[in-house]
Amino acid sequence: MSSPNELFNQPLAVINIGLKIFAEALQEQAVPCVHVDWRPPAGGDSNLLAILAKLNS
């Protein structure tokens, strides 16, 4: 396993999940970045999630 010091001497590459503004800020700084447009299922609404869970069972 690499030591932490060796890790920080390697090129940075980022996978951004969620808010696109973070990926855009990294890309403006020439940091290699891939953006994944992810959102919580049912918008995070626990009642709707319970209904979806019942439908899937």
**What pLDDT was estimated at residue 3?**
79
| Residues 7, 27 contacting (CB under 8 angstroms) | no
pLDDT tens track for 3-23:
778 878 888 899 999 899 999
pLDDT > 70: percent of the chain = 96
Instruction: Report the C-alpha gap between 34 and 23 in whole angstroms.
Output: 7
**What pLDDT was estimated at residue 57?**
86
**What pLDDT was estimated at residue 51?**
93
Q: Which domain holds residue 10?
A: 4-56
Q: 15: helix, coil or strand?
A: strand
Domain count, the chain: 1
- Where residue 27 sits, what CATH number does that domain have? 3.40.50.720
pLDDT > 90: percent of the chain = 60
